[in-house]
Amino acid sequence: MSADDPRATSNDLFAGILLDLPGFEGVDPLDPAGTLPPDAKQNGIVCIINIWPAFPTLPNTRIDRVEIFIVGNPNFVAWAEYGAADYAPEFHIRIRPDLLPDLPTFEIYYTVRSVNQTTSQPRRLTFAITPPPQLLKEATFPDATLWGYIGCKKNNPLDPDALFIWEGIRILIPFNDLFQRGDVISLAWQGWNSLNGSGAALTPEFFFTAPVTDVANKRPVLIVIRPFTAHIEPMRENHSATAKYLLVRNGIPEFSSFTGLVKIDRVIPGTSGFCSDASWMK
């Protein structure tokens, strides 16, 4: 395997190294993860390369070529050429955002074609995880009472879309002018052993998705929590569930919501049992 092939093993590829590690604008050189600036995916990154030992000294003689590679990609992602007139302690080479890998973390190195071809050790880089801004209203629960409870009876029996709790719990995502057609709502649902969405979790965090389809009429997005057994049945008396969501655009979370809360009390009136179907009404 050629030393130019970034798929080569570390021992093969970086044997006889003569070059310094690459640096990067906005990256702490002491950070082993190489956390990139938050705008790296949008604006690209700038690689900093120290002057190498065999840099040209005589004018109008030799031109050295620098090529920057991402491990796993046999093609260079940036390059530049330097001669004696370009002498500087370090050189800054920009890598376009569309040439960066769609991975959370990756390694990058460079070669210099000079008197001999030399290479650097790879430097790990990691995209920063930036929480999306919390700008969206909390989800609402059309089947809940004014006090936020859902029990065994329909609270809005005149609503043709109303559900019994064992049929599911409807959640409405209020429309926001930030929404665009093709966006996706990713909602997280979780049950709790208290009335305020805290304490011990009664369910894992479940995720539901729904597309934003009607931007023109500014309609809310409907998500129904079901099936009952996994998502609702663990909540019985004086329990609750929380719902929070992300607006996802082109696979990237853009905005987050405040947390919505619904209180759940499945005690069958006049008994100590809990409703899970319509049999208690007979």
β-strand pairing of 149-150 with 260-264: parallel
Is 249 part of a structural domain of the chain?
yes
Q: What is the mean pLDDT of the chain?
A: 91
Tell whether omega for the bond before 211 is within 30 degrees of 0, i.e. cis: no
Is 18 part of a structural domain of the chain?
yes
Is 192 part of a structural domain of the chain?
yes
Q: 3-class SS at 176? A: coil
Of 77, 105, 126, which closes a domain?
126
Neighbours of 58 (CB within 10 A): 8
Tell me the one-letter amino acid at 275: C
The number of distinct structural domains making up the chain is: 2
pTM of the model: 0.64
The pLDDT assigned to 249 comes to 87
d(CA 253, CA 246) in angstroms, rounded, equals 6
Interval 197-230: pLDDT, tens: 999 999 999 999 999 998 999 999 999 999 999 9
146 and 121 co-located in one domain: no
d(CA 35, CA 33) in angstroms, rounded, equals 6
Is 3 part of a structural domain of the chain?
no
Interval 90-147: pLDDT, tens: 999 999 999 999 888 999 999 999 888 899 999 999 998 878 999 999 999 999 999 9
Of 73, 105, 126, which closes a domain?
126
56 and 148 co-located in one domain: no
119 and 196 co-located in one domain: no
113 and 245 co-located in one domain: no
141 and 276 co-located in one domain: yes
Sign of the CA dihedral with 144 first, then 150, 155, and 157 last: positive
154 and 87 co-located in one domain: no
Tokens describing residue 18: 């003569």
118 and 138 co-located in one domain: no
CATH number for the domain spanning 234: value is 2.60.40
2 pLDDT tier (thresholds 50, 70, 90):
very low
Is 275 part of a structural domain of the chain?
yes
Of 109, 126, 143, which closes a domain?
126
d(CA 64, CA 25) in angstroms, rounded, equals 23
Model confidence at 268: pLDDT above 50: yes
227 and 92 co-located in one domain: no
β-strand pairing of 134-136 with 252-257: parallel
201 and 172 co-located in one domain: yes
147 and 237 co-located in one domain: yes
Is 178 part of a structural domain of the chain?
yes
Tokens describing residue 51: 């002057």
The residue segments making up the domain with residue 269 are 134-281
CA distances for 204 relative to 122, 125, 218, angstroms: 39, 32, 32
Is 161 part of a structural domain of the chain?
yes
12 pLDDT tier (thresholds 50, 70, 90):
very low
Is 5 part of a structural domain of the chain?
no
66 and 186 co-located in one domain: no
71 and 101 co-located in one domain: yes
Q: 3-class SS at 254? A: strand
Answer whether 192's CB lies under 8 Å from 200's CB. yes
What mean pLDDT comes out for the span 158-169?
Answer: 96
From the list 167, 149, 160, 150, the residue with the least C-alpha distance to 278 is: 167
